[in-house]
Amino acid sequence: MTPRMTKFVLAISAPLLALAAAFVITSIVLAAAGDPVLDVWKQILSMPERRNVANIIDNAMVLYLSGLAAAVGFRMNLFNIGVDGQYRIAAFTAAVVAGEAWLPGYLNTALAIICAMAVGAVWAGIAGVLRATRGVSEVISTIMLNAIATALVAYLLRKASVRVEGSNAIGTKVIPEGSRIPNISIGSGPGQEIYGFVVIVVLVGFLYWFVLNKTRFGFNLRATGRSTTAATASGINITRMVVLAMLISGAVAGLVGLPILFGDSYQYGSTFQSGLGFAGIAIALLGRNHPIGVAVGALLFAFLNEQSNPLQILVGVSPDIVAITQGTIVLTVVISYEIVRRYGVRLEQQAVAKALVPEPREPEEANA
C-alpha cells in the first residue's frame, strides 16, 4: 500500500469502526431490555420512501446549521453550548419581524433573516464578552443564557402573540404568503418537497469552509484555537477573537430555526421545535468540524430520527433507543479516531525505523 492509500484507509476506518461499535452497543441494550433486536434494525436500516427522504433532508438542514454554529466555536476551543437558546430567541425575532411585514415580499424575508442572525449573535456575544473581559467560562454562561432565553421567549410570546385558530396554542402573526420561501420538489406527489432554504444552508456551509480555510481571519481563529500563547506571540488579539468567534457562532445559530419558520410553520408558537442545539454539538463533534463531515453527521442523525419514528407502532419499541445510538456514536467516533491515530503513528514509526536501519547489518550484530 502506498502511504497515501494507508492514510485514506485509516481516515475511513475510524468512522466505520465507530458506527459498528455504536451498532453493537445499541443491540446489546435492546437485547438486555428484551426487545426484538432484528426487527428494530430491519426498520431503521430499511430503504426510506421518497416522502421520508424529504423529511430527512429537511431535518438534516436544520441540524447542519446547528452543527456549523457549534463547529465555529469548537475551531477556536470555545464550547458554545448555547446554540439552543440562541436559535430559539432568533427564530422568535424573525417570526415577529416577518409577521409584521414592514417591507414587501422577499425584502421582508431578508430583513427577518438579518434580524435573526443579529439577535443570535448578540445572545452569544454576551457569553463572548463575559469570557473575554471577565473570564467567565462560556460553557456555564451559555447554559445560563439558554434558560434565560427560554423564559424571555415565553414572556415575549405571550405579549406579541395571537391565538392560533381552533386551538389553545399561541403563536406570532403568520408570515404573509409573499415572504415565505417556496419549497423545492424532489419527486411527484404531496409531501415530497424540501425547504427552499436549502440554498442558504449550502451557501453557509461554503462560507464556513472558505472563511476558515482561505482567509487570514480564519487562520487567526484556528491558530488561537490550537494555541493561545502562540497566537498571542504572533500578534493576534485574543480578546477580540473570542468575542468575534462567539458572534459568528451565534449568527449561524440564529439561522437554525429559519428553514422551519419560512418553509413549514410560518409562525413561532409554543410548539416550535426545541432541542436542536444539543444535537448540533454532537453533530459538530461527529463531523470533526469539517463542513462535509458535519453534513454527513447531520444526514446520519436525521436518518436515524426519521427511520425510528414508526418503531413504536411497528415493533412496539420506544424510538428513544435512537438517542442512545446517537450519543454512543459521538463517544465511539472520538475513541476510534484516537485509536486509529495511535495506530497510524505506530505505522509511521515502523516505516521510519525500517528506513533508518542501515542496510549492511553486520556492524550492529558485532556490537551485540
Partner 1 sequence: MSTPATTAPPPVVAPPPTTRRIPIWAMIAAVPALLLFLAVLENVTGAHDLTSSGTIAATLVATTPIMLAGLGGLWSERSGVVNIGLEGMMILGTYGAGYFGYHYGAWAGVLGAIMMGMIGGLLHAIATVIFGVDHIISGVAINIIALGAVQYLASNTFVGLPGGGSTQSPKIPDVPTITIDSLSNKLGDIEDNDTFFISQLASLLRALCTNLSSLVLISLGLLILTWFVLWRTSFGLRLRSCGESPVAAESLGVHVLRYKFVAVLVSGGLAGLGGGVLAMVASSNYRDGQTGGRGYIGLAAMIFGNWRPGGLLVGSGLFGYTETLGLRQGGTSVHALLLAVAVLALALALNQLRHGDRLAAVVIGVVGIGLGVVYFLIDEVPGDFTRMTPYVITLIVLAFASQRLRMPAADGQIYRKGSAG
Residues 183 and 196: beta-carbon distance below 8 Å: yes
How many residues can be counted in the chain?
368
Q: Is 320 in the site for partner 1 (CB under 8 A)?
A: yes
Task: Establish if 170 lies at the interface with partner 1 (CB under 8 A).
Answer: no
Among 158, 226, 240, 346, binds partner 1 (CB under 8 A): 158
Nearer to partner 1, 233 or 357 (CB): 233
- Site membership for partner 1, residue 318 (CB under 8 A): yes
Contact track, partner 1, 71-90, x by CB under 8 A: --------x-----------
Does position 330 bind partner 1 by CB under 8 A?
yes
For position 130 contacting partner 1 by CB under 8 A, the verdict is yes
Q: Does 31 bind partner 1 (CB under 8 A)?
A: no
Site string for partner 1, 339-358 (x = CB under 8 A): x-------------------
Whether the CB-CB separation of 260 and 271 falls below 8 Å is answered with no
Q: CB-wise, 151 or 368, nearer to partner 1?
A: 151
* 143 lies in the site for partner 1, by CB under 8 A: yes
Q: Does 282 bind partner 1 (CB under 8 A)?
A: yes
Task: For partner 1, give the closer residue by CB, 123 or 197.
Answer: 123
19 is a contact residue toward partner 1 (CB under 8 A): no
Say whether residue 283 binds partner 1 (CB under 8 A).
no
Residue from the set 160, 164, 296, 335 that interacts with partner 1 by CB under 8 A? 335
CB of 28 to partner 1, least distance (A): 12
| Terminal CA-CA length for the chain | 33
CB of 262 closer than 8 Å to CB of 106: no
Q: Which of 8, 49, 102, 137 binds partner 1 (CB under 8 A)?
A: 137
- Residue 285 sits in the site that holds partner 1 (CB under 8 A): yes
For position 334 contacting partner 1 by CB under 8 A, the verdict is: yes
Number of residues this chain uses to bind partner 1 (CB under 8 A):
43
Nearest to partner 1 of 17, 53 (CB atom): 17
- Which member of 19, 136, 160, 170 binds partner 1 (CB under 8 A)? 136
> Judged by CB under 8 A, does residue 154 bind partner 1?
yes
- 151 contacts partner 1 (rule: CB under 8 A): yes
Q: Which residues pair with 184 in a beta bridge?
A: 194
**Judged by CB, which is closer to partner 1: 267, or 289?**
289
Q: Spell out the SS3 assignment of the chain.
A: CCHHHHHHHHHHHHHHHHHHHHHHHHHHHHHHCCCCHHHHHHHHCCCCCHHHHHHHHHHHHHHHHHHHHHHHHHHCCCCCCCHHHHHHHHHHHHHHHHHHCCCCHHHHHHHHHHHHHHHHHHHHHHHHHHHHHHCCCHHHHHHHHHHHHHHHHHHHHHHHCEECCCCCCEECCCCCHHHCCCCEECCCCCCCEECCCHHHHHHHHHHHHHHHHHCHHHHHHHHHHHCHHHHHHCCCCHHHHHHHHHHHHHHHHHHCCHHHHHHHHCCCECCCCCCHHHHHHHHHHHCCCCHHHHHHHHHHHHHHHHHHCCHHHHHCCCCCHHHHHHHHHHHHHHHHHHHHHHHHHHHHHHHHHHHHCCCCCHHHHHHC
Q: Does 140 bind partner 1 (CB under 8 A)?
A: yes
User: Which residues in this chain contact partner 1 in the complex, by CB under 8 A?
Assistant: 29, 33-35, 79, 130, 134-137, 139-141, 143-148, 151-152, 154-155, 158, 278, 281-282, 285, 318, 320-324, 326-328, 330-331, 334-335, 338-339
